[in-house]
Structure 1
C-alpha cells in the first residue's frame, strides 16, 4: 500500500433519534472514555431495494417475475409462490401447494472519476467498480406456499433484499473514507394467510433477518517509513420483525394489495482490528483507548408500506401499478475519525437523509396460451438530501427502473421465466472536505463523480404446483 500521512477513519452507520419536531441528534456510545460507536436508523419504505438499488438500500429484485415488471403490482400480483415475500395474503389465491426458486445475476456500473479539486496526494486510483466484485454480484430466493385448506395457507420465504457489497481498490483516492464494506440482510420468513371471505384475505409473517456487517478503511500513517495502516470491523447479528398483508378482490379481475413491513433491528458488536500502524499512531490511539475499544453498531432496517393494484382488462392485457413511501429521514451516516494524531478524538457526522417515494406502472400481455410477457417502469426518489451529491459509502440516490420479461407455461403444474431490468441512477457527485490536508494527517478532499450509474439485473425462475 502507498505511504500517506496519518489519519484514522472508522466508517460506520449511526443512529439518529427524532424528538418531537426538534433537530435530529446523534447518540454516541463510549467505551473506556472514548468514542467507540454509534447506531443507525434506516426507516421505512414502500419498496424493497438491497442487492440492487431503489431510493435507498432495499431491493425489489429477488429473481422473480417482478424484475420484468419493474415492481409494478408488487403486492397485488399474487400469481406464484413469491407472494409469500411480497404479500403473504396473496397465498389464498394460489391453487394447492406451490414452490418457486429464483436466481439472478447483477452487474453495476458504479465507477468513480476523480475530479480536479481532489487532494493530489490521494493519488489517481479511481477505485474500480465500487459495487460487488468488478461490478458483479448474485441474488435470488426460494418460496413455498402450503395449502392447509382452501382458506388457510402456510408459507416460507428465503431471500436477501437489504444492502449490497461495496469494494474499492485498497489504494484508491478515497481509501481514508472507505476501502470496502458489506452490509447485507438475509430474511427467513415463515408466514400464514387466511381468506376472510370471497373478497378479503389477510396475511402475516415473521421476518427473521440474518445481518452481515464488514468494514475496512485505510489509516494514514505520518511516518514516511510506513505505508497505510488498516482498520477492519466484522460481525454478524440476528434481527426480528413482522410483515402484514391485505388483499381485497374488487371483482374477478381486479384486486388491491397493501403491505406493511416492520423495522428490523440488527445490533452489531465487535472490537475493531488495527494493522500496519506506525508506533506514533498506535501510541496515540492507545492513549485515548481506541485500540481496545468495542464498536457497537445498531442498524435499523426500514419499515415499509406499499399499495398495489392488478386489473385484467381483457383476455390478453392486464395493467399493474404500485405506490410506496420510505421513511429514510431516520437514516444517518457517521464517520468517526482522528483528524490530528496528537489529539485523536475528533468525531464527524453527516446530516440526516430524507423520505422517498416509489411509483411503478406495468402491463402483462398474453402472447399465446403458454407465453406471458411482462413490462414495467418505476421511479424512486432520492434519499440523500444534497441532490446528486453522495457519499462514497453509498453511491446511489434516485433510480429509474425499466423492466421486461417473459414466462412459459410448461405444463399444468410448472412455469419457467426470464426477466431483466435496468436501474438507472444518473451521475452522482462527491464533495468531501477534510479538516486537515493529507500532508499533515488529513483524509484529504475527495471531489469527483460516478458517471451514468446503472445496474443490469438478469433473473431466471421456476414455479411448480404439487
Structure 2
C-alpha cells in the first residue's frame, strides 16, 4: 500500500504518487473490463456490445475505435452520437456494519441518482482516396460517483469523480489494397475530485470534511491497423498508449473539531498538497469482421487492459486520534475482454445489430466503494436505417449486468473512538441500461 504520511515535508508529499494505469484493449477506451474505460459513446457499438470494435469501420466513429478504418470511408463524413444511461448500483448494508454508522445505503451511486449522459462527435475527411484526416471529441473515461452525505461509508467516500474528455486529431493512410495504417493523438482533459467525511468525535460539532479537486491535461497516442483478408473479411488491431493525468490537489478541510484541527496543523496536513498521478490505461485489441453473405455478417473482438497498474486513491483519516496518513492506494488486476456479434440486413434500408460481451474482474474479492464495478456481461441490440445515399441514423440499447458485488471495509478503531467503522454489505444485482442514438452524414 502507498500512503502519504501527514508529517512528511512538502517535498516528501509531492514525491508521493499513486499510479493508475490501465490497459489494453479495446480501444475506445471505455467500458472494457468493468472499469473506468467504456466502449459506449452513443454509436452503433452499443447495439453490438463492442463486437468487431476495431474492424467494423462502417462510419465516422472509426476515428475513435480504429483510425485506420477511415480509409474505407468515402468523401467527408460526420457522425453525431448521444446516449443516456441509467445505472442500478446501490449499497445494501449487512450485519457486520458498525451500528454507529446508521443504515443509509447511499442511494444510486453512479451519476446523478443513477442517470448519466454521454456521446461524441466524429469527423473523417478525404484528402485523397488513400489519405484521410479525422477528428473525434468524446468523453470515454471515468464517471462521477455520488453517495448520500450520511451513508454508512461516509468516512471512506462521499463523492468521487474521475473523468477524461478526449480530443483526437487523426490520420490514416492506405498502404495498398489490403493494408491501412492509422494514428491519433489523444489530448485528454482530466477532471478529478474526491470528498470524504471526517469523524470528529466531538459532541455538537458533527462531521468534518476533506475534499480534493483538480483539472489537468494528459497526452497519449492511439495506433491502428486494418488488414483486408479478402473483400468481405477484415482484421483490425489497435493499441492505445498510457495517458498520465498528473493531478495535484491541496487537502481542503472544513468543520474540523478544534483538537483535530490542531493535531493536523502541527503535522503539516492542513496545507498538504497531494500529488495524485493517474495513468489512464494503455489498451490493446484485436477485432474481426466477416461478411458471410448478402444478409449476414459476423463480428468479434478480444482485448486486454492493464488494470494491475491502476492505483485508485482512497482518501480520509483512519484514526482521528492519531492521523498518520491521508491516502491509501487500492490494488487491481489485469482484465480480458471477449465480444461476439452479428449484423443482419433486414431490408435494403434497415440493418440490425446484435452482440454479447464479457469483461473479467479487475478487483480480487471485495470491491471498493470508490469503484463498485468488477466483471461484467453486456447484451446489445440496435437498428440502423439508410435514409439516402448521404445520410443514415441508428438507435441502440445495451444492458450491462455486473452481478452482486461484496464490500468489506475494516476500521482500526470503532466509530466512537475516532475510527471509520466497519462497512460490510453488497451492491446487489448491479446493472446499467444504455440507450443511444446517432446520425451519420456524407458530404
Normalization by structure 1: what TM-score? 0.91
Partner of 1:138: 117
Work out which of the residue numbers 15, 26, 32 in structure 1 matches 2:10. 32
Q: Mean Cα displacement is larger for which, 88-97 or 327-336?
A: 327-336
Partner of 1:424: 401
Q: In the TM superposition, what whole-angstrom CA distance separates every residue of 1:16-39 from its partner, at most 9, and x where no partner exists? A: xxxxxxxxx747585438757532
Work out which of the residue numbers 142, 147, 152 in structure 2 matches 1:163. 142
Distance 1:199 1:49, change over 3 A: closer
Q: In the TM superposition, what whole-angstrom CA distance separates every residue of 1:173-197 from its partner, at most 9, and x where no partner exists? A: 0000000111000000000000000
Partner of 2:417: 440
CA distance in 1, matches of 2:214, 2:376: 30
Work out which of the residue numbers 52, 73, 78 in structure 2 matches 1:94. 73
Shift of 1:350: 5.2
Indicate conservation of the 8 Å contact 1:35/1:345, yes or no: no
Partner of 1:216: 195
Indicate conservation of the 8 Å contact 2:4/2:327, yes or no: no
Work out which of the residue numbers 115, 129, 149 in structure 2 matches 1:150. 129
Partner of 2:55: 76
Aligned pairs (5 A) from 1:219-230: 219-230=198-209
CA distance in 2, matches of 1:363, 1:293: 53
CA distance in 2, matches of 1:407, 1:110: 31
Shift of 1:440: 0.1
**Unpaired runs of 5+ in structure 2?**
none
Aligned pairs (5 A) from 1:263-342: 263-342=242-321
Shift of 1:336: 4.6
Partner of 1:10: none
Q: Mean Cα displacement is larger for which, 447-456 or 272-281?
A: 272-281
Indicate conservation of the 8 Å contact 2:24/2:281, yes or no: yes
RMSD: 1.7
Shift of 1:332: 2.7
Work out which of the residue numbers 387, 405, 411 in structure 1 matches 2:388. 411
Work out which of the residue numbers 158, 178, 181 in structure 2 matches 1:179. 158
Q: Mean Cα displacement is larger for which, 248-257 or 32-41?
A: 32-41
Distance 1:228 1:48, change over 3 A: farther
CA distance in 2, matches of 1:454, 1:463: 29
CA distance in 1, matches of 2:57, 2:122: 12
Distance 1:420 1:263, change over 3 A: same
Partner of 1:459: 436
**Unpaired runs of 5+ in structure 1?**
1-24
Q: In the TM superposition, what whole-angstrom CA distance separates every residue of 1:249-300 from its partner, at most 9, and x where no partner exists? A: 0111000000000000001112121111111111111010110111111100
Partner of 1:382: 361
Secondary structure (helix, strand or coil) at the match of 2:170 reads: strand
Aligned pairs (5 A) from 1:2-41: 26=2, 28=4, 30-32=8-10, 38-41=17-20
Shift of 1:333: 3.6
Indicate conservation of the 8 Å contact 2:3/2:328, yes or no: no
CA distance in 2, matches of 1:233, 1:277: 16
CA distance in 1, matches of 2:301, 2:129: 27
Secondary structure (helix, strand or coil) at the match of 1:66 reads: helix
Secondary structure (helix, strand or coil) at the match of 2:148 reads: coil
Secondary structure (helix, strand or coil) at the match of 1:209 reads: strand
Partner of 2:40: 61
Q: Mean Cα displacement is larger for which, 274-283 or 135-144?
A: 274-283
Indicate conservation of the 8 Å contact 1:115/1:447, yes or no: yes
Distance 1:227 1:50, change over 3 A: farther
Normalization by structure 2: what TM-score? 0.96
Indicate conservation of the 8 Å contact 1:34/1:345, yes or no: no
